[in-house]
Amino acid sequence: MLKMQNVSFSYGAINAVRDVSLSIEDGEMVSLIGANGAGKTTVLGIISGLLRPSAGDITFGGESIVKTPPSTIVKKGIVHVPEGRQIFAKMTIWENLRLGGYKVTNRKLFQERVEYAFDLFPILKERKNQSAGTLSGGEQQMLAIARALISGPKLLLLDEPSLGLSPLITRQVFGVISGLKKAGITMLLVEQNAYEALQISDRAYVLETGSIAMTGKSSDFINNEDIKKAYLGGV
Amino acid sequence: MSIEYIISQLINGLRLGSVYAMVAIGYSIVYGILRLINFAHGDILTVGAYTALTLMVAFGYPLWLVIILSIIISVAMGLLIERVAYRPLRNAREETTLVSSLAVSAFLQNLITMVFSEQRKAFQLPDWLTEIHTYGIVKLSTMNIIIFATTIFLLIFLSIIMKKTRIGMAMRACSDNQRAAALMGININVVVAVAFMIGSALAGLAGIMLAGEYKTVDPAMGFAPGLKAFVAAVLGGIGSLGGAVLGGFILGIAEMAFAGLLPTSITPYRDAMVFVLLILVLLVKPNGILGSDEGGRS
């Protein structure tokens, strides 16, 4: 579904991502793990078109999207749930969802997806006319995911969905994510919480200082001694 | 001091305030989206006034056509400026775009001087507009009523656009969180262009009204009102439409009150007083009267 080939990106003189190649198959859930500053968020930014790579190619469904603007990439079905939620804090929850469906011109489809999101997160329905900034961190994360679902993603990019959340809320968020996986949504998950990410994903890539250091089945990684030591806190 | 005098100063203040308000809306919308203080915005007002003058005097077009064409030219100029002077600097620091806007302002003033000379020129609107009506102790011109009504109408109209339409939602989303707006599939360039279109249309219209009030035009006529309108936008709470209009009215009335109430030896300093007022308000409400208290941008 998505193929990244030898992609590089630098912020000025700093090479943030070097020669990264990865692929995601239809229906698969892939996680991208690595330390802070390894370039995980940059990789997502490149896929969603916010950042333009200096080298390499990206194809989505066989078509190159490396020069495609973010607004068109959304329309093609790649939807990015950014780090730190990035909800529209001054707007209402309902308006946030409306904006999630900015590219959805079919009203009926939009309504169906809103219903689906409200079923998934009843709290959003209860508080739909309140400004999104009044939600708790966990609720904001749910809103960010709901907003992304409304655009009908073929590929969902999730950046640090557990960042800053309590362990209890983190469990809830991961519960929702595995629900989405069961519903057949293809996902690329970026997480510092590597253990949770490996638990629910099919395959994983390990990013170290901007390059792919390792790749394999998530279940193999959980039992891998090196991975345990480096990313799972030695558990 | 007579009640008639107070009322007439109040009307003058509302009239002046309406012009500030119209220009302030443009500052506010553009600032909200780009965090750009567009100092060339006031000069669009001059462009609108000179276009109207040319069309009236040289071509003899009827007033309605003059207004429509002047607004179109102002919008075209606003879009051109955005494309040439601001879009290439989209990711540059805020100081850089600020300097660019000052350069555009100087460029426009010099361009207008070159084409029309620096001489003041007479600007005469049809008599039925400037005719003074007397209602008891209230004296006002048709123009006064039109200016005030237009401002209120535009405030309501734009508020509905912002609240109810797709492009309005997109504009609010961009000023709330531009990165997230891009991720929703919103084309930022379109939103920015629309913001400049609305701002320039209002500034062009304000230019015709100001020229009609003062009965003259000159190449620097937009600069001072532009600056005051910026103050009005900050005073009311930049980024808020209602704030821009409220700020415009407060500023216009305060200016006329200072001019009318203070001894003549101090009246030349009325602009300084206006800025003192701004400082006092910002000390109490750093985000302006109607600005949100949520602090900076997210």
Q: What value of ipTM does the predicted structure carry?
A: 0.84
Measured between its terminal Cα atoms, the distance across chain B in Å is 50
Q: What percent of chain B clears pLDDT 90, i.e. is strictly above it?
A: 65
- DSSP letters, A112-164, are HHHHHHHHH-HHHHHTTTSBGGGS-HHHHHHHHHHHHHHT--SEEEEE-TTTT
Q: Is residue B297 part of a domain?
A: no
The CATH number of whichever domain residue B76 belongs to comes to: 1.10.3470
**What integer pLDDT is reported at residue B218 of this predicted model?**
95
Residues of A with Cβ-Cβ distance to B170 under 8 angstroms: 99, 102
> Could you give the angle at which helices B142-164 and B3-34 cross, rounded to 10 degrees?
30
Q: Is residue B293 part of a domain?
A: no
Distance (Å) from the alpha carbon of A110 to chain B's nearest alpha carbon: 14
pLDDT of B297 higher than 70:
no
pLDDT of B211 higher than 60:
yes
Q: What predicted TM-score, i.e. pTM, was given to this entire model? A: 0.88
pLDDT of A43 higher than 50:
yes
Q: Per-residue pLDDT averaged across A16-40, rounded?
A: 92
Q: Is residue B180 part of a domain?
A: yes
Chain B interface, best mutation among A76, A90, A151, by max B CB count within 10 A: A90
Q: Is residue B67 part of a domain?
A: yes
Q: Buried (b) or exposed (e) across A90-114, using 16+ Cβ within 10 A?
A: bbbbbbbbbbbbbbbeeeeebeebb
Residues of A with Cβ-Cβ distance to B185 under 8 angstroms: 70-72, 74-75, 102-103, 151
Q: Which residue from B170, B172, B184 is facing A100, i.e. has the nearest CB?
A: B184
Q: Name the least confident of A104-118, B11-25, B158-172, B256-270.
A: B256-270
Q: Does domain A2-83+154-231 bear CATH number 3.90.190.20?
A: no
Range of the domain at B273: 3-284
Question: Across the interface, do A102 and B176 touch by the CB < 8 Å criterion?
Answer: no
For A92-137, the pLDDT digits (tens) are 999 999 999 998 889 999 999 999 999 989 999 999 999 999 999 9
Q: Per-residue pLDDT averaged across A202-231, rounded?
A: 87
Q: SS3 for A17?
A: strand
**What integer pLDDT is reported at residue B277 of this predicted model?**
85
As for how many domains chain B has, the answer is 1
Q: Is residue B296 part of a domain?
A: no
Per domain, the residue ranges of chain A are 2-83+154-231
